[in-house]
Amino acid sequence: MKGHHLEELKEIEMTPHPIADLPSGPPGRSGWPWTAARVSSFPARMPEGSLWPSISIVTPSFNQGPFLEETIRSILLQGYPHLEYIVIDGGSTDETPDVLKKYEAWLTYWVSEPDQGQAAAINKGLRRATGQIVAFLNSDDTYQPDTLATVAGAFMSQPRLRWLCGRCAYVDEHGKELSIQQPKIPRSPAEWILRPLGLVDYAFPQPAVFLRNEFRLELGPFREDYAYCFDHDYWLRALLTGHGPSALDYHLANFRVHPGSKTGSLTHGFQAEDLAIADRYSDRLRSRERKQLLRFRGLLQTMAIVTDCAALAETQGAKAARRKLWGKVRENPALLSYRAVWGAFRRWYGIHPEAGPA
């Protein structure tokens, strides 16, 4: 295990390693955050004269070495005067340890050891966080220039604000912008619960979310039994307190989509956990909304059955697939209320289910 805790937050301003002395990035890289540093004249105080609030950023990391240095630089080169930056790595076997050692003089704390997954790593880092404002940024995502100053200003100007969410760009593995996600704030927790059904369209782009630390402590840790949607559960818990976020009209962060990312490769995992969260909080829904949720779950199960039958048809022939589909219908006649089942009988086998298995 490698662990480094360099200075307490109150001493960070006096570190002997100025941000201006950060090592250079890899050859051939240019622009933010490689050659476009923005830290030479960061004011010691906010425009109205108050001290900048302290901010803690946690980066969970595991084998994202090709992107980690860009993430780190996008945080450090903010030049923010009261920054606490914590990196929790799950024992990466790629170039991650070398990147962390390269920047360790500028990190408040870092560790590289096996852990129980992304949510556990974030919780581990947040337990060390002492900043007034907190956030987590994954090891393949980045902040835009001036993000921390903008966020600090928003919180200081709105004393009652508990959390906020800004705009976030989706970028490819080379940093090319693919689209921009605007924060879309639901009017109630129920609308967020129903989001997986596709009946409503709401989003809190995770890299662009920041919370007051006192609110984070009130909410408690992220659920570590969710591998994909622990943040979706967290935003719901935040909404259930009655405190919605402020939608900040500012491009704060970039979410990287690439073959090695969980979001890019395991959509079914996200869908299953989103539905589990919806089921867990279904008592918050009205009767009509609960029926919609049950109908949607039934549709997903039906599509899985039809897909399995299609695969069976390719390997064992139409007769075997037809018998399996008919068996599923006999076990659960409600399947006949879904068009996918009728379509399968008609398209694949040219029969109606009333005919029974041939």
For residue range 72-123, what is the model confidence (pLDDT) as tens digits?
999 999 999 899 999 999 999 999 999 999 999 999 999 999 999 999 999 9
Q: For residues 212 and 133, is the Cβ–Cβ distance under 8 A?
A: yes
* DSSP structure class, residue 52: P
Name the pLDDT band for 261 (thresholds 50, 70, 90): low
Residue among 276, 294, 290, 308 nearest 337 (CA): 294
What is the mean pLDDT of the segment spanning 335-352? 72
Q: For position 311, what pLDDT does the model report?
A: 87
Name the pLDDT band for 223 (thresholds 50, 70, 90): very high
Residue among 257, 300, 253 nearest 275 (CA): 300
Q: For position 306, what pLDDT does the model report?
A: 86
Q: For position 2, what pLDDT does the model report?
A: 46
What is the mean pLDDT of the segment spanning 246-272? 79
What distance in Å separates the CA atoms of residue 224 and residue 217, rounded to the nearest whole number?
Answer: 16
Q: For position 17, what pLDDT does the model report?
A: 64
Domains contained in the chain, CATH given = 2-258 (3.90.550.10), 286-355 (no CATH)
What is the mean pLDDT of the segment spanning 3-9? 41
Residue among 74, 118, 88 nearest 4 (CA): 88
Whether the pLDDT of residue 310 is over 90: the answer is no
Token look-up 């570590």 returns 224
What distance in Å separates the CA atoms of residue 55 and residue 25, rounded to the nearest whole number?
Answer: 25
What is the mean pLDDT of the segment spanning 200-218? 92
Name the pLDDT band for 11 (thresholds 50, 70, 90): very low
For residue range 19-45, what is the model confidence (pLDDT) as tens digits?
778 898 888 888 899 976 555 457 778
Question: How many angstroms separate the Cα of 77 from the Cα of each of 21, 146, 217, 357?
Answer: 10, 9, 28, 67
